[in-house]
Amino acid sequence: MQEFEPKIVAFVCNWCTYAGADLTGTSRIKYSANVKIIRFPCTGRIDFMILMKAFENGADGIIVSGCHPNDCHYSTGNFHARRRWIVFRNLLNFSGIDTERIQFSWVSAAEGFKWADVVNNTVKKIREIGPYENYNKIAVSTLFKEEGATNE
């Protein structure tokens, strides 16, 4: 059987993790191609709805990553983000959504190795858990039903 190739979206801040991922590249450290990055100015910009949209469009896993505490380019965006994640994870968990599928991390602009590790470990973990069928079931089926309606 062919190995399951999970779809993983990474939402990262421009100043730390995006730059860290750039460094992973400059250092030619290899990681799995399953993860694709969407750039945000700051983790503070990452709205919880964005994570929901990723799941319902077929993501099996999500990475959210930004600057370490105290290192935020905007000084405090990541602190606000952290609070929201604490609450949001609680809600997801209570609603029956698998928080194992969202990996939160702090990866600085100097942590090229760490970024590769975060990606590889997340891919590994999601491979083990398998496709997000619960969400896929409602997402794919409904999207089919009203194609064109929600998707512009």
Partner 1 sequence: MSRIGVFVCHCGENISATVNCEKVAKITGELKGVEFSTDYKYMCSYPGQTLIKEAIKEHKLDGVVVAACSPRMHEPTFRKACAEAGLNPFLCEMSNIREHCSWVHPKDDLTTEKAQDLVRVMVEKVKKNKALNSIKVPVTKTALVIGGGIAGIQAALDIANCGHKVIMVERQPSIGGHMSQLSETFPTLDCSQCILTPRMVEVAQHPNITLHTYSEVESVDGFIGNFKVKIRKRSKSIDEHLCTGCGLCTTKCPQKKIPNEFERGLGFRPAIYVPFPQAVPNKPVIDREHCTYYIKGKCKICEIVCPTKAIRFDQEDEVIDVAVGAIVMATGFDVLKTDYFPEYGYGKYADVIDGLAFERLASASGPTQGEIRRPSDGKIPKKIVFVACAGSRDPAKGIEYCSKICCMYTAKHAMLYKHKVHDGIPYVFYMDIRAGGKNYEEFVRRTIVEDETQYIRGRVSTIYEKNGKLIVKGADTLMGAQPVEIEADMVVLATAGVANHGAEELAQTVHISYDPYKFFAEAHPKLKPVETNTAGIFLAGACQAPKDIPESVAAASGAAVKVAALFSNDELTRDPLVAVVNRSAPPVYSQCVGCFLCQSVCPYQAIEREEIKNRNGEVIKTLARVNEGLCQGCGTCVALCRTKAIDIHGYSNQQVYTEIMALLND
Partner 2 sequence: MSDLIKKVTALLNDKTINAFIGYEKGSADRIRATFIRNEDQAQKLILNASCTQNLAGYLLKHEVKKLGKLGILANVAALRSIMQLASEFQIKDGEVYVLFANADGSLTEFTDFKSIEAFLETTDTGIKSEEQEMIAKLEAMTVNERWLFWNKEFEKCIKCYACRAACPMCYCHRCTTDVNQPQWIPVASHELGNLDYHLMRAMHLAGRCVNCGECATACPMDIPLNLLTYQLISPIKATFGATAGMKADAVYALSTYKPDDKENFII
Residues making contact with partner 1 (CB under 8 A) = 7, 9, 14-16, 18-19, 21-26, 28-33, 36-42, 44-48, 50, 53-54, 57-59, 70-71, 73-77, 80-81, 84, 108-110, 116, 151
Question: Min. distance of Cβ 24 from partner 2 in angstroms?
Answer: 16
Tell me the HSE value of 145 on the side-chain side, using a 13 A CA sphere: 6
- CB-wise, 81 or 126, nearer to partner 1? 81
Q: Is 147 in the site for partner 2 (CB under 8 A)?
A: no
Question: Min. distance of Cβ 15 from partner 1 in angstroms?
Answer: 6
Question: Min. distance of Cβ 27 from partner 2 in angstroms?
Answer: 20
Kindly give the interhelix angle for 133-145 and 48-56, rounded to the nearest 10 degrees: 80
Which helix (H) or strand (E) segment is 61 a member of? strand 61-66
- Distance between CA 36 and CA 28 in Å, rounded? 17
- Distance between CA 133 and CA 60 in Å, rounded? 9
- Can you say how many angstroms the Cα of residue 115 is from the centroid of all Cα atoms in its chain? 12
Judged by CB under 8 A, how many residues of this single chain contact partner 2? Answer: 42
- CB-wise, 2 or 53, nearer to partner 2? 53
